[in-house]
Structure 1
Amino acid sequence: MTVRFSAVHQVAEPEGMPAAEHFAFVTGELPAPTAGTALVENLYLSVDPYMRECMNGVWALDSPLEGRSIGRVIASEDPRLAVGDLVFHRQGWRTHALVTGEEARVLPRHDGVPPSAYLSILGGTGLSAYVALTRIARLEPGDSLYISAAAGGVGTAAGQLARILGAGRLIGSAGSAAKVRHLVEDLGFDAAFDYHDGPVTELLAKAAPDGVDVCLENVGGEHLEAAIDAVRSHGRIVWCGAVSTYNDPGRPPAAPRNLYDVVGKSIRLEGFLVRNYPHLQEEMEERLVPHIRSGALVPDETVADGFGRVVEAFLGMLRGENTGKMIVRLADA
């Protein structure tokens, strides 16, 4: 038994914003699984900001690409992976994959929890938010919180999680008026602003005239400078990402002009990589699944249908066309 599959390869390294011509769709055949492997038909694929960094010097050209994926086992010679199991693995950007029990995690099934949630609120973006707020910021009930890029995958997860954790005033920045409305009207933010409307420091000061206790920083550059300005003495800044730099890594923005205020205000600024916290996945699921089932926590997703749209979805995500987590759906679970 062989299976015909489609995949996407990167064929050239971009300078600046990637384009469709940096990718190619290819086809091939996968053999039947041998001892210790299973054949998976991918159902959902994740496209994420970190992938832009991988395009310059991390991903090999003309080779399979890496990415978080959810699929269904359709043939197996591994006793840990049964036919019909839904599994999480990292052989993305393709329709089918051969995986081992070490490479794939069988996903639990909960009524009221869609499988795609394991790429969003229960996936890497959700875990990033969970680590940021519970381990790095150690958010306390009543703490005020500012989130940059708040309408993205990490931001929408963090905003909803902050409410569950008892946060006080919740403020977010986003890239359009529609996203600002989404944050306030749909996700319960107390205030939000479009960062295109003026200097971020001034916009944040207007939204939070008394400052904030915690900042979750996902952008870098001017946004980090604004966070340092807004956070109160002995406050915390959690640095999760720097999307403002991903398309031009050779020319990063200048350091925040107010960087020494980290000392002057006794601020704790700490960065982290979510890949160092896989041991918290089960804990996060135990805490969040009941809130998803009750409707208090909603997987906020933008879904592109069809494998042929995976490159389009990736580029759209980099342009900020998504709200919440960008996911490519190949088939329903």
Structure 2
Amino acid sequence: MTVLPATQREVRLLTKPTGLPQPEHFVVVESPVVPPGVGEVLVRNRFFHVFATLRILIAGATQDTPFPVLDAGDTLVGAAIGEVVEAPAGSGLSPGDLVSHWLGWREYAVVPAAECTRLDPAVLPDPVAHLQQGWTAYAALTRGVELRPGDTVFVTAGGSGIGSMAGLIARRLGAGRVVASAGSPQKAERLRTELGYDAVVVRGAGPLAEQLAQAAPGGIDVCFDNVGGEQLRAAVDAARPGARFVLVGALSGQLDAAGPGTAAPVELDSLPLIHKRIEMRGFSSDDYDDKDEWTERFGAWLRAGEITFPHVRVKGIENGPRTLLEVIEGRHIGAVVVEL
């Protein structure tokens, strides 16, 4: 029988920030490890995902978004992988099972059994790989725009957790040329050498439209957009006739220090959209329930050495707040995970 500690650590929002969050807005506290109630599972978390969209939760999501709102005193949330400690009868879960759920940012979580997904350790070679956001990228490229062999693809925020997977998946699906955007020349070089992008445009290094015209001289067929703003405008300029755009994120607004974090306004010239017959679609992988297809394919690619999982591991829950600020600043490439 597992002997539980009396307390566990978790990260809470201490105060609501005005603008981007800072270290003083978070606190790591100790709280009691409580037994699960009826229909609940006690999970010892092993990893949790640190993602920039937490800015929306902290700022206060609007009624049009699926995100919860975090208030002062709330424990942060996010995707987590953990081991079952206690589970109710009939739940299909047993102690020792590996599960995913949404209550990260704490060492132990009490989760409704219906919100725990049992993971097969044989499917992916590393448990942390279950925290990749490849399903979002894969679904967007296969359901949202139906990438075609030979397409030139532009991935905005190509080093982000979703963007890094989108670039790799686009190549596996037959893209002829894959271009990314990045926030610095140093990061751009890493995207070329580590992730295999053919070219990278750099925010702040000159007009993006001119950079993209050089990076994709024949134009782009697909835009996988995580950012919006100036980068989306540049993509419209570079689009070939019949180009397909899939919008999966809006980091230009979410990470704007001067904005509320809950809006991402952008001004687009509608004439090119009409003249080029550009298709532009807002996309959420939550609309599809066939994620198993991706997980099996990703696992096969990983085992065959045909794809990697770009990610950074940070040890210790006490480093969670600092890591979140680094993610918001764009310091890392790939998914960022705290290991407990």
Instruction: Please confirm whether the aligned pair reaches a TM-score higher than 0.5, indicating the same fold.
Output: yes
**Residue aligning to 2:65:** none
Q: Report the 3-state secondary structure (helix = DSSP H, G, I; strand = E; otherwise coil) of the residue aligned with 2:114.
A: coil
Change (3 A) 1:112 1:272: closer
Change (3 A) 1:286 1:253: closer
Instruction: Please give the alpha-carbon distance, in whole angstroms, between the structure 1 residues aligned to 2:154 and 2:240.
Output: 12
Letter in 1 for 2:16: E
Which of 168, 177, 191 is the equivalent residue of 1:183? 191
Which of 133, 136, 151 is the equivalent residue of 2:159? 151
Instruction: Please give the alpha-carbon distance, in whole angstroms, between the structure 1 residues aligned to 2:105 and 2:113.
Output: 20
Greater mean deviation of Cα atoms: 236-245 or 187-196: 187-196
Instruction: Please give the alpha-carbon distance, in whole angstroms, between the structure 2 residues aligned to 1:219 and 1:15.
Output: 22
Instruction: Please give the alpha-carbon distance, in whole angstroms, between the structure 2 residues aligned to 1:236 and 1:311.
Output: 37
Which of 108, 112, 115 is the equivalent residue of 2:120? 108
Is contact 1:2–1:32 with CA below 8 Å preserved after alignment?
no
- Count of paired positions: 325
**Residue aligning to 1:69:** 80
Q: Report the 3-state secondary structure (helix = DSSP H, G, I; strand = E; otherwise coil) of the residue aligned with 2:336.
A: strand
- Cα deviation, residue 250, structure 1: 6.9
Instruction: Please give the alpha-carbon distance, in whole angstroms, between the structure 2 residues aligned to 1:210 and 1:73.
Output: 52
Change (3 A) 1:186 1:96: same
**Residue aligning to 1:24:** 27
Is contact 1:240–1:271 with CA below 8 Å preserved after alignment?
yes
Instruction: Please give the alpha-carbon distance, in whole angstroms, between the structure 1 residues aligned to 2:262 and 2:45.
Output: 37
Which of 284, 290, 305 is the equivalent residue of 1:273? 284
Is contact 1:171–1:207 with CA below 8 Å preserved after alignment?
yes
Change (3 A) 1:192 1:32: same
Identical-pair percentage: 36
Greater mean deviation of Cα atoms: 206-215 or 9-18: 9-18
Is contact 1:4–1:30 with CA below 8 Å preserved after alignment?
yes
CA RMSD, Structure 1 to Structure 2 (Å): 1.8
Greater mean deviation of Cα atoms: 55-64 or 222-231: 55-64
Q: Report the 3-state secondary structure (helix = DSSP H, G, I; strand = E; otherwise coil) of the residue aligned with 1:197.
A: coil
Change (3 A) 1:17 1:103: same
Change (3 A) 1:250 1:259: farther
Change (3 A) 1:190 1:2: closer
**Residue aligning to 1:40:** 43
TM-score, with structure 2 as normaliser: 0.90
Which of 124, 142, 146 is the equivalent residue of 2:150? 142
Is contact 2:11–2:105 with CA below 8 Å preserved after alignment?
yes
**Residue aligning to 1:261:** 272
Q: Report the 3-state secondary structure (helix = DSSP H, G, I; strand = E; otherwise coil) of the residue aligned with 2:204.
A: helix
Instruction: Please give the alpha-carbon distance, in whole angstroms, between the structure 1 residues aligned to 2:262 and 2:151.
Output: 35
Letter in 2 for 1:315: L
Instruction: Please give the alpha-carbon distance, in whole angstroms, between the structure 2 residues aligned to 1:93 and 1:254.
Output: 31
**Residue aligning to 1:199:** 207
Q: Report the 3-state secondary structure (helix = DSSP H, G, I; strand = E; otherwise coil) of the residue aligned with 2:222.
A: strand
Instruction: Please give the alpha-carbon distance, in whole angstroms, between the structure 1 residues aligned to 2:262 and 2:8.
Output: 39
Letter in 2 for 1:129: A
5+ residue gaps, structure 2, are 61-68
Which of 314, 320, 325 is the equivalent residue of 1:304? 314
- Cα deviation, residue 41, structure 1: 0.8
**Residue aligning to 1:293:** 303
**Residue aligning to 1:213:** 221
Which of 300, 316, 339 is the equivalent residue of 1:329? 339
Greater mean deviation of Cα atoms: 162-171 or 12-21: 12-21
Instruction: Please give the alpha-carbon distance, in whole angstroms, between the structure 2 residues aligned to 1:211 and 1:70.
Output: 41
Change (3 A) 1:166 1:251: closer
Q: Report the 3-state secondary structure (helix = DSSP H, G, I; strand = E; otherwise coil) of the residue aligned with 1:291.
A: helix
Change (3 A) 1:2 1:307: closer
- Cα deviation, residue 2, structure 1: 6.4
Change (3 A) 1:112 1:63: closer
Residues 39-76 of structure 1: CA deviation (Å, up to 9, x unaligned)? 11111011112211111222132122321000111233
**Residue aligning to 1:93:** 105
Letter in 1 for 2:20: M
Instruction: Please give the alpha-carbon distance, in whole angstroms, between the structure 2 residues aligned to 1:251 and 1:101.
Output: 31
Q: Report the 3-state secondary structure (helix = DSSP H, G, I; strand = E; otherwise coil) of the residue aligned with 1:131.
A: helix
Instruction: Please give the alpha-carbon distance, in whole angstroms, between the structure 2 residues aligned to 1:176 and 1:19.
Output: 22
Q: How does 1:122-137 map to 2 (within 5 A)?
A: 125-137=133-145
Instruction: Please give the alpha-carbon distance, in whole angstroms, between the structure 2 residues aligned to 1:251 and 1:273.
Output: 17
TM-score, with structure 1 as normaliser: 0.92
Instruction: Please give the alpha-carbon distance, in whole angstroms, between the structure 1 residues aligned to 2:5 and 2:251.
Output: 40
**Residue aligning to 1:117:** 129
Q: Report the 3-state secondary structure (helix = DSSP H, G, I; strand = E; otherwise coil) of the residue aligned with 1:275.
A: helix
**Residue aligning to 2:64:** none
- Cα deviation, residue 138, structure 1: 0.5
